[in-house]
Amino acid sequence: MSSPSTNIEPTGPRPHPWLEWDRVVVYAFLTLTALYFLAPLYIVIITSFKDLDHIRDGNIFWPQTAYPDGVHFYDPWRRAWWEVCTGLECHGISPNFWNSVKVTVPSVIVSVAVALTTGYALSNWPFKMSEAFFTVLIVGSFVPYQVMLYPMVLLTKNMGIYSTLTAVIFVHTVFGLPFLTLLFRNYFASLPVELFKAARVDGAGFWRILIQIFVPMSLPILTVAVILQVTGIWNDFLFGVVFAGLPNYPMTVKLNNIFTSSFGVKEYNVEMAATILTGAVPLLIYFLSGRYFVRGIAAGAVKG
């Protein structure tokens, strides 16, 4: 028998091999997944900077480095923004960019503001039937849009706003409300109720509690709501096609028309540029607010 002192006694952290098998699997999976999602984006970006000859003859994975005289790397982008035609109309995608802005900004502001107030009222100022109202909201947020499409067309026609941007704004605001209200109501319900009580003892009323106490505490959930609405409304196609009318098409509808209605040579580079331009806004929003977005999704972690 060997004496205990000659053995190596365990002490401190257990030794780990430098590379562990399960780690290799995890990193391999992550790398493959990242490539899978990034490769299309890469191809779209480099294609948007190529001229048509290069697209035809060159390698799809290889960026173009040299341009013939009079051809610029930004030409497809310029064409996409100002010149590309759908049918007889040749103003590029820029007018539709502004249409999308005109729809998104008011819809987001109105729907978030109304949902914020309603959610707060539902959570902190219960009234008769407020539970029933809440149930209707939950049901409302699960009704598929297609079901409501025809009634909405009739409604906007009767309101005299069909085929205008106002109709699109109206529809987006209305359809955004159930889910947003649910979101805000649940967030406010997760805040400590004693905070609300303390504010009432301090003499604050409905609006003062909302604006001075609750809204400053709601930045994470406000961020989530704004991102959801901006991306949702910006990316919307259906309501744009149905309610906007030809001159008011939002960017997504226009992009589709560029793809489907071009005759002659298919300008892949211009289409890619238009695609990136259309996707730029949601992409930018995610990049700028990603941190807050994650924080808001994981909300409830607001401890006083």
Partner 1 sequence: MATAQSTKTHSVSIRGLAQSYGSLQVLKQLDLDIPDGEFLVLLGPSGCGKSTLLNCIAGLLEPTHGQVFIKGKNVTWEEPSKRGIGMVFQSYALYPQMTAERNLSFGLRVAGMAKDEIEKRVKRASEILQIEPLLARKPMQLSGGQRQRVAIGRALVRDVDVFLFDEPLSNLDAKLRAELRVEIKRLHQRLGNTMIYVTHDQIEAMTLADRIAVMKAGAIQQLDTPLTIYSKPRNRYVAGFIGSPSMNFIKAKVAGTVKVPTVEVAGQKVDISEYAFVDGAVVGRDVEFGARPEHIRILRAKDATAKGIIAATVELIEPMGSDSLVWLELGDQKLSARVESSEHYKSGEKVGIQFRIDQASLFDLQSGERI
192 binds partner 1 (CB under 8 A): yes
Distance of closest approach, residue 128 Cβ to partner 1, in angstroms: 13
Q: Select 124 or 229, whichever has its Cβ closest to partner 1.
A: 124
* By the rule CB under 8 A, 127 interacts with partner 1: no
* Residue 26 structure tokens: 């995890």
Residues 207-266 that bind partner 1 (CB under 8 A): 208, 213, 216-217
128 interacts with partner 1 by CB under 8 A: no
* Cα dihedral 62/65/70/73 (nearest 10): 70
The only residue of 200, 238, 283, 290 in contact with partner 1, by rule CB under 8 A? 200
Please pick, from the candidates 25, 43, 198, 238, the single residue that binds partner 1 as defined by CB under 8 A: 198
Q: What is the CA radius of gyration of the chain?
A: 27
**Dihedrals φ, ψ of 67, to 5°?**
-120, 145
In whole angstroms, give the CA distance from residue 57 to residue 54. 5
Among 160, 194, 260, 264, binds partner 1 (CB under 8 A): 194
Least distance to partner 1, CB of residue 208, Å: 7
CA distance readout (Å), 43 to 36, 40, 271 = 12, 5, 13
**Whose Cβ is closer to partner 1: residue 20's or residue 202's?**
202
Least spacing, CB of residue 292 vs partner 1, in Å: 16
Q: Which stretch binds partner 1 (CB under 8 A): 25-33, 202-210, 240-248, 280-288?
A: 202-210
C-beta of 12 vs 304, nearer to partner 1 = 304
Number of helices (H), then strands (E), in the chain: 14, 0
Length of the chain: 304
Q: Which stretch binds partner 1 (CB under 8 A): 7-15, 33-41, 54-62, 188-196?
A: 188-196
Residue 304 interacts with partner 1 (CB under 8 A): yes or no:
yes
CA 93-97-103 angle, to 5 degrees, is: 145
Minimum distance from residue 121 beta carbon to partner 1 (Å) = 17
Can residue 101 be called a binding residue for partner 1 (CB under 8 A)? Answer: no
Q: Binding residues for partner 1, how many (CB under 8 A)?
A: 17
- Compare residues 144 and 216 and give the one whose CB is closer to partner 1: 216
Rounded Cα distance between 54 and 40, Å, is: 18
Name the residue with tokens 């759908």. 86
Check binding of 302 to partner 1 (CB under 8 A): yes
Residue-wise burial string across 91-127, b where 16 or more C-beta atoms lie within 10 A, e elsewhere: ebbbebbebbebbbebbbebbbebbbbbbbbbbbeee
**CB-based contact 70:77 (threshold 8 Å):** no
Q: Which is nearer to partner 1, 169 or 222 (CB)?
A: 222
Tell me how far apart the 2 most distant CA atoms of the chain are, in Å: 98
Residues forming contacts to partner 1 in the complex (CB under 8 A) are 192, 194-195, 197-204, 208, 213, 216-217, 302, 304
